[in-house]
Structure 1
């Protein structure tokens, strides 16, 4: 027992050649070092009775510090650009499948007019008043809305994984929006709550004037106050595609946060998807709008615009003159039919003013009638269905465009062949057309978003098997 106890004492002693434990160095460096000769010769102090607390090291004021020390201090403080290369959440293995899509922007509430078409329009008074009740409805139906949150919910409905990145107010609307996204299995770890501002509400009017939907948005709301320091970097690192729209460019705070998030996305190797979706305030002047969206447009890898938005950015009068041919029962030539609004395909030369070298895809959607696509190597269009075929079922076309964008995102994350193979691209865009059709059949955007199986079934019904 004595030998074992002695052996235990030997093991507990420090190894002769081992370095000094770091704890001892830590406490010694906090005291000022004395370099006098007497200190070196006699390590123990002469008097132990009176120990005085060592004075703190004197730090000269900032103005009296030498210039070389000021320079070193400035170098030690990392700038915002340097922080892009220092973030690491410790996750190096592949993430879950399918890849994550991050939707950045405002989560809003839509108030849709509570006017419904009479099922049996036999009463003359009720039926005649319905048209006027659209403009002054007696009541509104509250529904979750906002393009970024709509795209996130539709993407999850189609079998993908999406995360919402934004800010809401700490009120009834904000809590309900986050709860709705959680119910739809949208990741909300990137959502911030603002105690001082309320959640913005978009009062939607079911009004289409020249193919454009009018809306009014309450400004100075919580979603316009997201700071760059509040970005969830773990979401940006995991996301393979970063989605945003032009509404965030109308607020200076959100604009700076947006480009900060784009830098992080570039650093992490993700793609930037710009869903134009121009708000009402950007339809005033073509030159002003192009100046506002210019920087974001040049940063995007994939862009989706509607036909009206494309013609607004290029030249609306040119296309109007091109379509104004003599009305007749038949076309004089086959080429003349291509100038119709439903069949006209924009040439790469016409789209060239909006093209830049970084762009991989440019999608031009015309509802569910047709989707035009442009890549650096090929271009074309996918024929959908005319609105006449779905008129008996159509009741709310608000979320149709968001469903089409979500379906495109769903296929871009799972089918990389779309970037190089034109046939695969057209087959997957037909899936997006089917998603946009189903989204029009239900009141409210989120309520009407289809599932992946329902979209695939409708695609197989609309198109022949060779086009699946």
Structure 2
């Protein structure tokens, strides 16, 4: 007679770090566990064999559970040759690839200081003075705000309902510990974060808008802890599980981070992940324009999905494209209408015009113009999605620092859950409207992380901005 027992109402939660082989059931009896009869084999004992939905291992593991590893020294070449130590890597864990898929954000986690109080000669009520939010011209005080494009994208992606992990290095100081704590609170996996114990400080930026030219002035700590991540400090288990590997161009300004970056790209490609290149081009961080183009071209050639702004695209193109854009006259406006002189330029670059930057490995290229428009290019089609005007830069402007990061997070969120975007143009445009809505909401609150919206709020705004046929 088969022995049976009653299953508990719920099992203890399973951590994402836990191996399927280490899942424990409550110990109701001292006798060996027997599975409940579900196929008519009453009384037949079985061992628990978790079904893995992940990719097959390249090598067979021995009965002792140990994996053979090569003892060759680690070297990273420019052509991304994966060494034997990486080819034979196997930690013995097959991930079931939970839904939604995991993305990995690689780069710097910095601390930003945004203006918190408006400087005014007019006497105001203290409470009203400290809580009035759109007042950011010449601030006497700054407020802490977690920053850094990769960490911002990871947090925004989780807010939008996805799963994200961060790989990088922070200083072993108050700023670094606070950044890791913030990511943990936002449910971003930090198992790939390293602390610098050699005294390097966490990167920090002081953001402020000047009256003279209306441009943003940022003071940044360089060199900082984020520039010292070594290729040997990469968490390979994160790269193995991640379906999308995201990085931006700031990491290739540091030689140490550059070697770690290209090794991470090689591992991500080996494990079947897509490489997402988010170009972030603050020219003062570079020594020359020629060096910038060479470094970006190298990273560009290894990317599957690329996101650039319209200004960054024009920087990478030659002068001929500048003149072609200047001479373009839109025909759908009345030339006698006075207000057209101050209108934004809506020029959409053709496939021939961007052909100098195109390579066979690109699956998607996004060219963003704030939240006004997103231009997209694939090997089979291209087009543009219309959004809304950005919030104007005035003394009453909200913070737009994280708007671009929210747009990128929205794009990756839909790419991981709606793969039809790669082949269907209608699906592409519908999902990009979700990313535009995320970028709009993020402008309404000071501090990038504080302003990132939830998935429901983004969907609600999308349904308010667009008619139902465009959802």
TM value normalised by structure 2: 0.75
- Hey, what does 1:25 align to over in structure 2? none
Query: 8 Å contact 2:114–2:145 — kept in the other structure?
Result: yes
CA separation of 1:213 and 1:359: change in aligned 2, threshold 3 A:
farther
1:88 aligned residue (87, 90, 98)? 90
CA distance in 2, matches of 1:347, 1:198: 45
Deviation at 1:390, TM superposition (A): 11
1:182 aligned residue (181, 184, 190)? 184
CA distance in 1, matches of 2:228, 2:440: 35
Query: 8 Å contact 1:302–1:359 — kept in the other structure?
Result: yes
CA separation of 1:79 and 1:412: change in aligned 2, threshold 3 A:
same
CA separation of 1:466 and 1:325: change in aligned 2, threshold 3 A:
closer
CA distance in 1, matches of 2:307, 2:254: 21
Helix, strand or coil at the partner of 1:299: coil
CA separation of 1:79 and 1:378: change in aligned 2, threshold 3 A:
same
Matches of residues 96-115 of structure 1 in structure 2 within 5 Å?
Answer: 96-115=98-117
Deviation at 1:350, TM superposition (A): 1.0
1:351 aligned residue (344, 351, 354)? 354
Deviation at 1:386, TM superposition (A): 1.6
CA distance in 2, matches of 1:236, 1:135: 42
CA separation of 1:313 and 1:214: change in aligned 2, threshold 3 A:
farther
CA distance in 2, matches of 1:214, 1:298: 31
- Hey, what does 2:369 align to over in structure 1? 366
Matches of residues 257-272 of structure 1 in structure 2 within 5 Å?
Answer: 257-272=260-275
Query: 8 Å contact 1:212–1:308 — kept in the other structure?
Result: no
Matches of residues 166-181 of structure 1 in structure 2 within 5 Å?
Answer: 166-181=168-183
Query: 8 Å contact 1:190–1:235 — kept in the other structure?
Result: yes
- Hey, what does 1:306 align to over in structure 2? 309
Structure 2 gaps of 5+ residues are 1-69, 76-82
Deviation at 1:319, TM superposition (A): 3.3
Query: 8 Å contact 1:302–1:362 — kept in the other structure?
Result: yes
Aligned pair 1:139/2:120, yes or no?
no
Deviation at 1:213, TM superposition (A): 4.7
- Hey, what does 1:158 align to over in structure 2? 160
1:375 aligned residue (374, 378, 381)? 378
CA distance in 2, matches of 1:371, 1:208: 30
- Hey, what does 2:59 align to over in structure 1? none
Query: 8 Å contact 2:105–2:247 — kept in the other structure?
Result: yes
Structure 1 gaps of 5+ residues are 1-74
Helix, strand or coil at the partner of 2:229: coil
The one-character-per-residue Cα deviations of 1:236-281 (angstroms, maximum 9, x if unpaired) are 0000000000000100000000001001001101000000011233
Aligned pair 1:77/2:72, yes or no?
yes
Deviation at 1:199, TM superposition (A): 0.8
Deviation at 1:152, TM superposition (A): 0.3
- Hey, what does 2:440 align to over in structure 1? 437
Aligned pair 1:232/2:235, yes or no?
yes
The count of aligned residue pairs is 385
Query: 8 Å contact 1:215–1:280 — kept in the other structure?
Result: no
Query: 8 Å contact 1:395–1:440 — kept in the other structure?
Result: yes
- Hey, what does 1:244 align to over in structure 2? 247
Aligned pair 1:191/2:156, yes or no?
no
CA distance in 1, matches of 2:264, 2:173: 26
Larger % of helix: which? 1
CA distance in 1, matches of 2:231, 2:197: 18
Deviation at 1:212, TM superposition (A): 6.9
Deviation at 1:91, TM superposition (A): 2.2
CA distance in 2, matches of 1:348, 1:431: 25
Of stretches 358-367 and 283-292 in structure 1, the one that deviates more from structure 2 is 283-292
CA distance in 2, matches of 1:400, 1:170: 29
1:219 aligned residue (204, 217, 222)? 222
CA distance in 2, matches of 1:329, 1:379: 20
Query: 8 Å contact 1:211–1:308 — kept in the other structure?
Result: no
Helix, strand or coil at the partner of 1:84: helix
CA distance in 1, matches of 2:425, 2:212: 34
CA distance in 1, matches of 2:218, 2:212: 12
- Hey, what does 1:148 align to over in structure 2? 150
